[in-house]
Every structure is written in structure tokens, then in C-alpha cells.
Structure 1
Amino acid sequence: MLFSNLYHYLKEEKSFAVTLNCSTDLHEIRDVELLDGTQMSYATDIVYFGYSNALSSDTQPAQCILADDKMALFPYSCTDRATVPAQELFAVFNAAKQYIQHQEHLSLYEELVRRGHLTHSLDEVVNFASIKMGNSLIFCDKKFRILSYSTSIPVIDPWWKENVERGYCTYEFIKTVMSLESIQSAATTIEPIEVSCPESPYRKCSSKVFLNGVQVGFVLMIEGNTSFTSGHLAAMSDISKAISYVIGRYHPELLQYSSADQQLLEALLIGTPAELLSDSISHLHTSDAMYALCIQPESDLKEIELKEQICPAILHIFPEAYMTIHDNAIALLVPDQSSVVYENTQKRMLKTMAELHLDAGISLVFSKMDEFYTAYQQARNVLEWNRRIPDFLKKQIIWDRRYPSEHRTHRYSEIEFYELMDLVPEPDALASFIHPALYRLKEYDQKTGNELFHTLEVYLQSFHNNKETANILCIHRNSLAYRMEKIAEVGKADFNDPNTEFLLRLSYKIIEYLKINNKWHM
């Protein structure tokens, strides 16, 4: 039993006027004891009851329930503490003692189910079980999506820690696990098995989880500071049954079955080779010009909220698209290029993105389904870069003007160069590759207050179109002509030479990258 369990029992079921001061649930409760002023040390698994003046200023209990004396300073070193009116102190003590004695006769399954009834939370049940076992726990569905994991005792195994952070297991990881002899020979029951993996130093045991006679996942315990015993293996069956009960009663949405198309996309998104899915892929409508999209809400939404609130609006824009929820985002396969580049579609998309506070990343065009995984990573990376670029820099960087960044849609072509620069082993050396003409223009602008540096940038991005350049800069074309003459004079470069133009364009992109990484100081 944990301190929060005892508090809720006294507060909710017995209606005592208990006030919770702090609760960490770090320690399992074994017993209760009265403070008599003679204790020199305290056990962490005992809740102490009494008055604060019976406590030593040097040593204080980890768990206590004290009389609410307004004049007393309560010890803040306690990890779990509550207060009660002085007149209720002994009644609360007796109720707590009876409750703990009664709990001693409950099985682990009964304790976990009671925790589930109290909190309606799968995470709470997994955390409670983790503390009881003294080891970390992970619950996955049959597709190896991680639906819950312990935070009170964090996962430290490097392989599973990576999976937890990602929210799912990759195809290669699943393939390795399923090839283990202990997994292949496991019975189709909740009987726990020990799983040994040569790549990890941590022992593990696993138990399948069933709902209505069908396996829906498995629970995994990873050995940490507490060594496995026969009791741990026996307890895994109770944990499995409790998880099944809580999901069936309170969270059936976690196991809602997706369509065949959604399952296909999910398999591709975890890295399953397309050739292994050829039969399923053959039923899709595809073309030689497809896009992958990643759509994310501005604020975190649960998967059920994404499905109910966001997905219908996206399907209205792309009715022919294939869609699934993956890693807290909506993943789309748009099978026809025209539906993304079509002007009316763009208008509907931009309007929906703004209204629902969504951001969309769009991949490069691709033609084969074995490219979908890479294309989706491109779409997701666009959004990662969008968050990485400070807002004030977004206004300075000249994006593709057909798809302005403030409209909340972003294309991989906008940031592909940045990803390339991220591979440079010595990014500080990039500044030496900036064309010297740009340094001269920047220095001239700083001395005179002119904008030759920015003017040349817009001119190059506008493909030497004087009218468009003047409109963007909001200046007269005669003023632009004067600026271009000055740029040639100050820059001392042949701006009509194709190689020079390429190097100038490259230099502006390097400067953008250095700005993003706070390494451009001119």
C-alpha cells in the first residue's frame, strides 16, 4: 500500500478531515506507529502518527500524519505527510491500522484492481505494481506500441528506454525479440517467462495480456536494483490480469482496432520492409508522384482526440488520402501529387491549419511505397526544424514564397539544406565558405544604414525579376536599379556569372543555418 492509498481511504471512505501536505509514494507501507518522543530513528515503511513536538529536529520520519497544530512548524524533510484535526488524530490512527491489517489479506491482483477503481488510470496501476515489485514495468500492445510504463521506477535498459521515448518499437527490434527462443516457445497463456537478450545486461520477465480470450499485448518487467525471485514471476500473472481488467473497464479505446490500410501505414512507419507487405500494398491506390504529410496540433492531444477532432477535418481536405495516428501525430499518404499542389486544396489546407492550430510538414515527392518511411521522416523533420527556428528568424529567412511559413504548412525542400549542414563535422568552419561579396555588403550596410545585403538576397530568390523584387522590398524600380548598381560596386563580383550566383545563393543558405544555430554574428 502507498501513502496516497491510505490518504484517499481516510479522506474519501472514512470522511476524516485529512489534509494532504506532500506525497511522493516512494515507500510501501507495512504498519503504523504512534510518536512517543523516544524514537531515535524511523522506518521508511511505517506511517507515524502524533504531534510535531514529539519529533526531533535532527531526524524525522519519511511518512507521517500529524495533528494540525497551527503553531507548529511541520518537518519539510518528510516525503509523505498529512495533517488531521487534533481531536481526530487517534480515531484516524485506529482506522489506518485496521485498514492496513485488512490490506495484508488482499492479493496483488485485488490491490491493483482497487487502485484501478480509485484512479481509472492504467498508468497509476502500472506505477503501483512497479513499486510493489521494486522494478520497472512496460505494457505494450500486440503491435509493440508502448501504452504505459512506470515512472516511479524509470526504465533504465537502454534499448527499452529508447522505445519508451519513441512510443513504439521498430521493426528491427520486434524482429529480434520475436526470434528469441523463449518467446517462440512461450505458451499462449498468462504464464510468465524469463526473457534473456544478449544485447542487454538486464534480466527481463514477460507475461501476455488477454482481453475476452484474445491476446492484446504483454507486460514486461526489467530487473533493476531488486533481483528477480520466484515471487516476481508469480506476481506477473496478477499484474497481467489487473491490466486486462483496467483496460476492459476503463480504457477500451487503447485497443481499438484500426483498418487494414491503417495497419499497413503503421507497419511501414516502424520500418517494416515494403516487400514484406506487398500483398497489402497492392490494394492501395498509388501513383508515381505521392507525398507524405505529418500533421501535429499546437498543444498535446490524446490519440482519441486526434481521431475525433482532427482526422475528419484532414480527410475533408484529402478524401483520397490514407491516414493513421503515429507517435502523437497524424501520418498521411497522399497518393496523388496534384491534390497537394492544387491551389484550392492549398487554400482549404491553410484555412484548416489556422483554425485548428495545426502544423503540417510535407515531404518531397516520391514514387515507390518503399520510400514512404523516408518521406514521412522528411515531413516530421520539417516540423522539428520549424520549432527549432526562433520566430524572429522565421521573418528574416526567405522561404519559398508560394508557401509562406506563417501559414503553418512547411515543405521539406525548405529545410533540406539545413539537414545537410547538420552532417558537417565542424560547423564553425562554414563561415569561411561564405562569398566575400556578402561580407563587403554587410559591412557597408552597417556603416551606411543601407540594405544592400538583403536586397541582393531577395533579387536572387526572385530569379532576377526586378518587378517582383521591388514589390517585395516595397521600393520603386528606379531605387532598385540604383541599389543593384551599388551592390555591384561594393560587392566587387560578377553577379551575371552562373558560378558566382550559385556561390552567393549557397552563402545565403549557410548564413541562414548559422543564424539558426546562433553562430552568425555580423
Structure 2
Amino acid sequence: MDFHQLIQTAHGQISLQPISLENNHPIESIQMLDLSQSLKSTILYFADDTIDYKYQKPDRSIQLIAVKKPPEGWLDEHSNLALLTQKDFIPTFNWIHQQIYQSIQMSNHFSRLIGMSLRGDSKQDIINTAAEFLQAPLIVIDSGFQVLTASTNLPILDTLWAENLQRGYCTYEFIVAVNQITSKMNTPASSKAYEILCPKSPYTKLISKIIWNGTLIGYTIMLTNGSPFEPWQMDLLPDISYVISDMLSKSPHFPALTGSMRSTLLYQLIDGSATDSLAIRMKATGIQLPDYMCCVAMTDDSSLSAKQYDRYLDTQLMQISPNHFRCTYQGQTILLLPLVKDVPVGDQLKPLQDLLGKGVQNIYVSSCFDDFYSCHHYYKQVQSLENLCNNAHITEQFILYDNFRFLDLMQHFNDLSILRTYRHPALELLREYDVKNGTDLYETLKMAVRYPTNHSRAASELYLHRNTMSYRIKKINSLIEIDYDSPDEMFYLTLSFRIEAYLQIIDKTL
């Protein structure tokens, strides 16, 4: 505790008139001022109305609470000074003595808690010990207002918060109250404790931000059971938040916490966790949901450090799509990009392609969708797309799921021998005939199936004269009968050619 903190804590508790607040030396103890002794800058001295300032002048900056104001020049310009009345002298001395004792106790509490975290003690043990020190129940939530953990050693009399713990997330009213207060705070990276009032609960809450590397990752909430907060509790809670940030950094789910509220919510969305509460929390936070969007997974090319890559993406993505959602999930950058429905997707994603070779190695894009809460399904699309590209050695860097949808379907067949039996018998027959006779009937049938009612177009695609195309089709029909007017047979052949294309890709990788 320093002189500034002491004066702030004393407000409303004791009557002190601050005169000079020039240094922030910690206060290690308090003593009555004795000018015959050597003075120290880290001791808070008390001087009653009997002190004679003419006896000796301090040879250094000191911290002083006095009944009589020292004469001009007696204290140097870096000393701290506050005045009080003789009537308040003894009560103030005792009160400050108690505050300093509690401050020392808090330092011991912090040392014990950070030691538990560094030692790897269980999360529950650390939270319960912190609650014991605060003499009040504790709840830890993430920046998306989902409950992460809570103390279990002290009863929670607030029925609303008992329900919150069962439900796993905060009420709409509490989220709104927190947002209203934090939006007015000038120190977004401060863990300073502040009170929260919620209209649905008769109890006030003390809340402190949990900060990791300058980023808000959650909140520590101290509940009361009707009694007012003590100043030392407001001092201790930020220290507990610091310990909790260290504790959470060791959690396997820590990547979900290290971004903005939008990042946290997206992480939980694609992870499939807490989906029942997402809609309520999104509404309470006031985040505008896109009407039309796609899910994107990006891999880095390792040319930048993790911090450089993160900063680079932040800058680029804010220019490309200011309202995007972004998080890191399983080592990848995952985006939710708002889109305009009537504008070609390729045109809208062109700025994203420009990132390739500039820190970004691959970009996988899902189908477009209009339900924000179905993002988990479309994340699975980009995950399958990446697996397909890796398994089939597809070297394209910018890949749309819609272009590989059928291949994705095929890779769900674990038994390729069964898949091979689904092919139309014409394919194998024509392939063997071509090998023996040096013909190209296989490719001719493929194009005829693609354009079953327009053989002129099929001939053009193969750079053949129409008569040559007609001759080849007759030759095919002499080998195996095919009904080009049958939708079922055309579908069967189309499916067969696609299965063949997939098998050729897979066979090359085996």
C-alpha cells in the first residue's frame, strides 16, 4: 500500500485532508514521528499537536500525517502530507495500522496463491483458497460471460447466482450492467475492482477483469451475502484475478479465452460448447450478427512469428471485413466473414486471396450460410476440406468447399473396394477397349454424359467434328447399350465418372 492508495481507501472511513501527494513509496509500517531518530521514506509517520518542527528538519522525503501543518520548507517537494484533527488522531492511527496489517496479509495471500498456481495445484483448490482469503464466494467467467469455475467452500445465498451456476452462464441483466460500466472505463486493461448492481438481485457484486498479456479474458466475481464490501477486499480481488489469469493459462481450453468477446463466442460456437446459452449472451452483448456469411480456415506459412502473424492478420482483416469474427482453434485461424448475398462470393473473397504468400499459406472456405448458430457445421466443412487436400495432395492454396463437395462425400467411404463396385460397367469396358485399340471412347462417353442432349457441344469440347462424335457414340453403343434419354442412367454414369476421378486421386497417394 502507498500513500495515494491509503488516502483513497480512507475516503468515507476517516477524516484526512491530503496536502501533498508527491511520491508513491510503499508504506511498510507506521510510527510516531521522533525527530531524534533517523527517518525512512517507507515508514508513515504520525505527528500529534505536541511535535516541535523546529527541533530538526528531515534529511529526506518522508510520508507524514500530522495535526499541525509543518512550516513552509520543512518538508521537501517530494514528501507526502495529510492533516487531521487531534480528536481523530488515535482512531486514525489505529485504523491505518489495521489497513497496513491487512495489506501485509494480502501480500502473503497473493504469494500463497501465485505459489499454488505455479506449483500446478488444482483449479478448485486455488479458487477455494482465494474465496477463503476474501471471506466471500468467488465465480470466474470468461469474456463471453460463460461460467468457468466457482468456489465451493462458502455458501451462495444469492439465489439468482446459484441459478447462474447451474445454467452455466450469466443473466442478460448482469451482462448488460457489466457492459454499461466497462464501456465508460478509461483503463480497459486494468483489473481494478468495481461494484455491479443487477436489478434482479438484491446483492451487489464486486468484479475484477482477468487480463492476460493486455487482453481481457474474463472476470472474477466476488459475491456478498448482504454485507458491504471492505476496502481490503477491493484491493485483494485484482491480485486474485492476476493469479487466476496464470491459472487459466495452463488450461487446455486457454486458446478460447485469449481473444475478444467476439473471438470467445466464435470459439465456443465452432467447439460446440455452451450453445444453449450463446443466443442469450450474444443478445446481451449487443453484437450484430451477419445475415449471410461463410466460415474460413487459414494456415500460416511460418514466415512470421506468432505475434507478428497475429498483428498482421488483425490489420489486414479489419480492412477486408471490419465486422468479421476471428479466433484461433486447434492451431488454425478461423474466420466468420459476413457476405453480401447477391454479390458473387469469389469477388467478395478476392481481397482474402491477396493474403496468400504474405504470411498465409492456405485458405479453406465453406459453403455460404445464413444461420450464425450453424457455424459449427460449416467449420466441419473446412476441416474436411483441409483433410481432403492433405490426403489427395491437392496443391491449390485457395479452396472453396463447393468445388470439392463430391470428393468430400467420397472420403467418408472407408472401404474403397465397395466404392469401386458402384461404378457403371461401361467405364471399365471402354477403358480396356481404348488400351487395346488405341481409341478414346472413355473420354467420348464422359463428354456425351455431360451434354446428353447436345452432342455438338460435346464434340466441340473434344475438338472433334460432329460426324466423328456421332461415329464414336455409335461405336460405344455397339459395345454396351446406353440410354441417353434416361435421367437415371445419366445420373448413374455421372456419379460413376466422379467416383473414378476420386479413386484416381486416392490411388496416386497410396
- TM-score of the superposition, structure 2-length normalised? 0.46
When Rg is computed on C-alpha atoms for both structures, the one with the higher figure is: 2
- TM-score of the superposition, structure 1-length normalised? 0.45
